[in-house]
Structure 1
């Protein structure tokens, strides 16, 4: 952007903001069920923009309702776009009201689009020599860029000037209209010229010129070096009318008659009284704090990320440690600090491969430093050696009394373990503090937390390292860029802890949950990740070959059934085969109105038709091959000879753990092929695999929560719960229950936990809906406590906005009063199920902590906890002590929590995971 002495004239593409906020952020509702996510997203982006640029002139421009001149020009314009969802439409009027109360001018001009208003004002400003910044996510706006006009992307904060347009699109701004006209635009239904893509459009425009020039020089197209150049002239002739109309559709008007000019568009003083009322109504608690000092404690409840006012972070205060004297001074400073934030900078997100590049610390607001140890770009200033730094730091890092705060410190613990340093004294982890406080209010990465709780926009890694294939690793980044980024991480972590811990201290069960479960289990997970699992790669390679053969056979069978060959991976071709050629019933449609080929749809069709059944098997085996049998052998670490997964604590809203690289939670157990994958998980020599699995834990938790006498009796007396339910529902003696009756009872037991309707149960059991409803009515008649629990759980969720586990974990349900029926019903189902899932998650974490403590004290060389999968823990145990240790693990797991019914753990032993399960 060219230099300027005054802030720029900013034009905000409000419609772009609106759609990006709605589609890019999770749904959000207030306690009355009003949708507020798009409002929150737009206002958040506006506030960030205002804070960054403090403009003297600004306008927020929205599309008007109704048709524009483009619809009259081309009837199919934007015809592909589905109608605006009700959840978005309901947010537009309140959004406009808030923006006006903020003092920002809004422009909505009938008969044209927001782009045309922006184009007109940008042109007027350019002609007056005023520098203009257009904030948008719309690529069409690139045509407006000139020496006075720059774009800024609403989501990534990236600026795009003339050079930026050239780099992104391969053509200068003056050829963007031609570029869009040749390519067409599926989103706006601009037809373009069929077969013209980015490369051919760039070649034609840069080689000859705009569309008019191309049509005057069609004979020159064959001389250009792009694929299809020889036949392009004929294609351009055939579609000339389409190309010309596309050019008109893609052209942003710059001569709209407006009642205002750039000079008129100045921000007014915000109406804080009105904003306070609006923020109260829509429950934007952080913003309410900013405009009102009289907010009651009740309004400021911690159900949403209500933060302190924006923090002042000054990068110029940070120190960069280059000398041994400075290093010694900081080590002494950290020794004296009661609590300090710590962070590492490395070469990789993969903890096994990550090399330490630097460390940062913070002892209080503004008191932060960066210690570089391995930046290796040319002309890097002299740094202290990594070996020296780690030798000096090791005692402090390993000291349990030196209390440290971090953001996702499990990763830093791994990095230091690569250098034989055991990170101890982990007092708090801001990722886990945020997760325990409210798992759904925000994402739990540092950038999101800083914005949510500190109103601070952090320096992003992409800002200093770039993006994509050319992104630098941290060791390649200049220290003058790396230091502020790294030290800010440490200071933000420190400040986040202050805000989050104050909130957690006010709710004793949440504080206890953090200190007694989440923090200790993070250390257990780190040990499990370090250990990894042993894989038989030869067995998996053989299975991959077998799967490849079966996949080819299935493909052939599908083609035979279909009567023609087609790409099984193509949704479009599959839709054509199933619903056009074979006229199968359309069960569900995509948002764009096409017949759905989702797994759920194919599952239902597979009951009656052969092609969907074969496709389901094909998809399952292909996924298994790609995800596990092909991939696992490549993931074996050459140093340990084992596969090392990553467990995630702050992902699932219920408190359940998940894992990636590889995902151990998703290996199928009900199919022969899935069990065969599990057979490749093997122990080291002299050991066996032991799997300890909680039996029917969620049903036991249901018995505890509902206090239903029938369920309590069945579990307390050790009666098979599914047989007991079958006896009650079908009115037979326990010993007379048939296999089929037990199977149906099992579907009812688990279906009700997950909020299944009579329709869902009927589909699962393949029985009439009326019969399924009868089963459910009988169930509730026999187990009245369950219905009472379900009703109370729904009501409590509506009243509080959350439900709780037995251990006080809060599971917030932002959609519990949503106007959208499907989202509200989903939240009601979650209100019933989440306390069970969450309690089960808490129990297995407590079990892991107890078992880990026992291993550390008594069985270090004999027992290794390798995996956690759903309600199961998997171990390697030395053969000679297997019976004794298995019994101890079983007892520790069964005693992990005390419920109204006993916990039951089944233990299996084998030469592989499948045998042990």
Structure 2
């Protein structure tokens, strides 16, 4: 949708279109669109950034009228003229609606009615398949038409658009309604209309969140980076003092130096080093590498990602970033930031607070609900610490006698069952944390757990029995396991059979919660600024924080109760001056 091509490619419009460059003409042509049930909508822009770039052209399509190409440069009041259309109950069919919505929201345009996002619909239907989802991919796959996209990156920032550009723009909306017809039938046939509605609603929240961005205190970040550099140099000096003059970043030199001081390792990866983490030199090496990773991942990358106009981080969220339905994000990936000191750099603007709310143990609540294990449900509904209860069951001790390490072992067991982890992997995970539990002990713990929670035991047995070629979540979200290129059908693995429905259902709940919070914030100065799997971060004026916190909590609880009617939804909620305070 941007940049410059020198040649006018001979693209032809596949249908009739009308180029509109006057207010009078736009008013006269809009009447048939205002009564339409479905409208195809697209924009061409001078770039990808709503803060730096502009809408050059708006394209509309309907079933009964020519496509309209509206010149946003020539018609100064196009927003006012199109408001009735934006507010109409017509279904707005858009490909990758997040892009359009960010530009609209930046201009103060609110889109009413249902959005049908053809990209999200295609991604939902294809979860588990290796398919592409650009508009041209969908048009070829569903309509058997090859689109000419040669004008996509042409220069749209010019007063007069070439006929080839106009034809290209017309084609971009021409196929939206035919795609809608095909995709809607596919969603209905596959019983996925509810989850599609969930995704189409969620795109509003995601667009607003990306546009708002997350505040980052540059001065604090610089201080943090300097602190990391000092600690890094100090650890490097200590390691060299312990092992001699070596390149600490060289696995070969490190292994040889460790051998010389009597530490024999098969390798120097984290797994090998963790087996000797109690030794001072190994501890220093592990800490050195941790800081090295923090420096490389979150040092200059965060600074360079700050927006030149807003001074904030505007991450790019992928609403269907995984086949289970969980979101992912990049540029930067704030979902992977767990370090407290780094989170301390994320702060609201002056006069504002952060509200940070996350679902507590949501995967275990989903497991209890899916399994209808009434003992586990009862414990959760009574607010009992499930990890401590599990520790009490497997160690056969009273709950008030459970140590911190025993609770950590139980926590690993609980989540290991959710994720379908094997006994060896559970023991290895605990070993990395410095907790030594042998295989036979872990197996005995697991059996005691399953004997107590019979509903969970029966659910695991049923969920993992036989071959499964598709898995569903509570919303009806589907992940398929299609044949390979040789036609061989591959079943879901043991881990996938357990993890996919639970992780996917957690995504269902969190997305519904995100959308409900977005609705709560409409009409206020509050805005969504980050989403981390089961955690929602809102930036709100200080004077509104106490008032809106209960409404935000209620919205998130309602989302959980929608899918888990007999399981109490527990939240952790904080009003903060920094993201770090959430975990304090």
Q: State the TM-score, normalized to the length of structure 1.
A: 0.55
2:139 paired residue number: 450
Instruction: State the alpha-carbon separation in 2 of the partners of residues 877 and 733 from structure 1.
Output: 44
Instruction: State the alpha-carbon separation in 1 of the partners of residues 27 and 554 from structure 2.
Output: 49
- Structure 1 counterpart SS, 2:326: coil
State whether structure 2 residue 411 is matched by structure 1 residue 768.
no
Superposed, 1:504-543 pairs within 5 Å as 504-508=187-191, 510-515=192-197, 517-543=198-224
Contact 1:762 1:771 in 2 (8 A): no
User: CA distance change for structure 1 residues 479 and 440 in 2, over 3 Å: closer, same or farther?
Assistant: farther
Instruction: State the alpha-carbon separation in 2 of the partners of residues 819 and 505 from structure 1.
Output: 26
- Structure 1 counterpart SS, 2:572: strand
Contact 2:32 2:65 in 1 (8 A): no
Contact 2:529 2:539 in 1 (8 A): yes
- Structure 1 counterpart SS, 2:313: coil
Contact 2:236 2:248 in 1 (8 A): no
1:828 paired residue number: 494
User: CA distance change for structure 1 residues 832 and 367 in 2, over 3 Å: closer, same or farther?
Assistant: farther
- Structure 2 counterpart SS, 1:681: coil
User: CA distance change for structure 1 residues 365 and 748 in 2, over 3 Å: closer, same or farther?
Assistant: farther
Cα displacement (A) at 1:665 = 0.7
- Structure 2 counterpart SS, 1:897: helix
1:810 paired residue number: 478
2:168 paired residue number: 485
Instruction: State the alpha-carbon separation in 1 of the partners of residues 122 and 18 from structure 2.
Output: 29
Cα displacement (A) at 1:421 = 3.1
Of stretches 619-628 and 605-614 in structure 1, the one that deviates more from structure 2 is 605-614
Cα displacement (A) at 1:848 = 2.4
CA RMSD of aligned residues (A): 3.5
Instruction: State the alpha-carbon separation in 2 of the partners of residues 348 and 744 from structure 1.
Output: 51
State whether structure 2 residue 62 is matched by structure 1 residue 363.
yes
- Structure 1 counterpart SS, 2:175: helix
Please list the CA deviations of residues 113-162 of structure 1 after superposition, one character each: whole Å capped at 9, or x if unmatched. Answer: xxxxxxxxxxxxxxxxxxxxxxxxxxxxxxxxxxxxxxxxxxxxxxxxxx
1:342 paired residue number: 41
Instruction: State the alpha-carbon separation in 2 of the partners of residues 694 and 523 from structure 1.
Output: 21
Please list the CA deviations of residues 660-694 of structure 1 after superposition, one character each: whole Å capped at 9, or x if unmatched. Answer: 333221102xxxxx211211222333433222121
Instruction: State the alpha-carbon separation in 2 of the partners of residues 773 and 551 from structure 1.
Output: 40
Match of residue 711, structure 1, among 373, 376, 399? 376
Cα displacement (A) at 1:369 = 5.4
Contact 1:726 1:742 in 2 (8 A): yes
Superposed, 1:629-668 pairs within 5 Å as 629-668=299-338
Please list the CA deviations of residues 172-207 of structure 1 after superposition, one character each: whole Å capped at 9, or x if unmatched. Answer: xxxxxxxxxxxxxxxxxxxxxxxxxxxxxxxxxxxx
State whether structure 2 residue 427 is matched by structure 1 residue 427.
no
- Structure 2 counterpart SS, 1:388: coil
Cα displacement (A) at 1:802 = 1.6
Instruction: State the alpha-carbon separation in 2 of the partners of residues 623 and 334 from structure 1.
Output: 54
Cα displacement (A) at 1:323 = 4.9
1:503 paired residue number: 186
User: CA distance change for structure 1 residues 494 and 354 in 2, over 3 Å: closer, same or farther?
Assistant: farther
Cα displacement (A) at 1:746 = 0.8
- Structure 2 counterpart SS, 1:842: helix
- Structure 1 counterpart SS, 2:332: coil
Instruction: State the alpha-carbon separation in 1 of the partners of residues 438 and 99 from structure 2.
Output: 52
Match of residue 412, structure 2, among 743, 747, 762? 747
Structure 1: runs of 5 or more not aligned = 1-312, 374-384, 466-470, 588-596, 669-673
Contact 2:20 2:68 in 1 (8 A): no
1:675 paired residue number: 340
Contact 1:337 1:363 in 2 (8 A): yes
Contact 1:537 1:632 in 2 (8 A): no
State whether structure 2 residue 399 is matched by structure 1 residue 399.
no
1:893 paired residue number: 556
Between the two structures, name the one with larger relative contact order (CA 8 Å, sep ≥ 6): 2
Instruction: State the alpha-carbon separation in 1 of the partners of residues 108 and 228 from structure 2.
Output: 42
- Structure 2 counterpart SS, 1:896: helix
Contact 1:317 1:366 in 2 (8 A): no
Cα displacement (A) at 1:741 = 1.6
**Structure having the higher Rg:** 1
Structure 2: runs of 5 or more not aligned = 1-10, 432-436
Match of residue 104, structure 2, among 416, 435, 447? 416
State whether structure 2 residue 406 is matched by structure 1 residue 723.
no
Instruction: State the alpha-carbon separation in 1 of the partners of residues 371 and 487 from structure 2.
Output: 29
Match of residue 574, structure 2, among 905, 908, 911? 908
Of stretches 450-459 and 898-907 in structure 1, the one that deviates more from structure 2 is 450-459
Instruction: State the alpha-carbon separation in 2 of the partners of residues 484 and 582 from structure 1.
Output: 68
Contact 1:708 1:786 in 2 (8 A): yes
Instruction: State the alpha-carbon separation in 2 of the partners of residues 371 and 884 from structure 1.
Output: 43
Of stretches 649-658 and 619-628 in structure 1, the one that deviates more from structure 2 is 619-628
Contact 1:729 1:775 in 2 (8 A): yes
Cα displacement (A) at 1:356 = 1.9
Instruction: State the alpha-carbon separation in 1 of the partners of residues 66 and 257 from structure 2.
Output: 70
Please list the CA deviations of residues 854-900 of structure 1 after superposition, one character each: whole Å capped at 9, or x if unmatched. Answer: 3336xx24x44332222112223444554443233323322323323
Of stretches 717-726 and 778-787 in structure 1, the one that deviates more from structure 2 is 778-787
Of stretches 479-488 and 739-748 in structure 1, the one that deviates more from structure 2 is 479-488
Instruction: State the alpha-carbon separation in 1 of the partners of residues 484 and 384 from structure 2.
Output: 36
Contact 1:367 1:491 in 2 (8 A): no
Cα displacement (A) at 1:701 = 0.8
Aligned residues: 556
Please list the CA deviations of residues 252-304 of structure 1 after superposition, one character each: whole Å capped at 9, or x if unmatched. Answer: xxxxxxxxxxxxxxxxxxxxxxxxxxxxxxxxxxxxxxxxxxxxxxxxxxxxx
Instruction: State the alpha-carbon separation in 1 of the partners of residues 291 and 65 from structure 2.
Output: 55
Instruction: State the alpha-carbon separation in 1 of the partners of residues 293 and 460 from structure 2.
Output: 37
Cα displacement (A) at 1:558 = 5.5
Cα displacement (A) at 1:836 = 1.3
Instruction: State the alpha-carbon separation in 1 of the partners of residues 68 and 125 from structure 2.
Output: 29
Match of residue 870, structure 1, among 522, 528, 533? 533
Instruction: State the alpha-carbon separation in 2 of the partners of residues 406 and 652 from structure 1.
Output: 22
Contact 2:20 2:70 in 1 (8 A): yes
State whether structure 2 residue 472 is matched by structure 1 residue 837.
no
Instruction: State the alpha-carbon separation in 2 of the partners of residues 557 and 459 from structure 1.
Output: 61
User: CA distance change for structure 1 residues 883 and 511 in 2, over 3 Å: closer, same or farther?
Assistant: same
User: CA distance change for structure 1 residues 811 and 623 in 2, over 3 Å: closer, same or farther?
Assistant: same
Instruction: State the alpha-carbon separation in 2 of the partners of residues 820 and 732 from structure 1.
Output: 50
2:4 paired residue number: none
Contact 2:151 2:165 in 1 (8 A): yes
State whether structure 2 residue 460 is matched by structure 1 residue 790.
yes
Q: State the TM-score, normalized to the length of structure 2.
A: 0.84
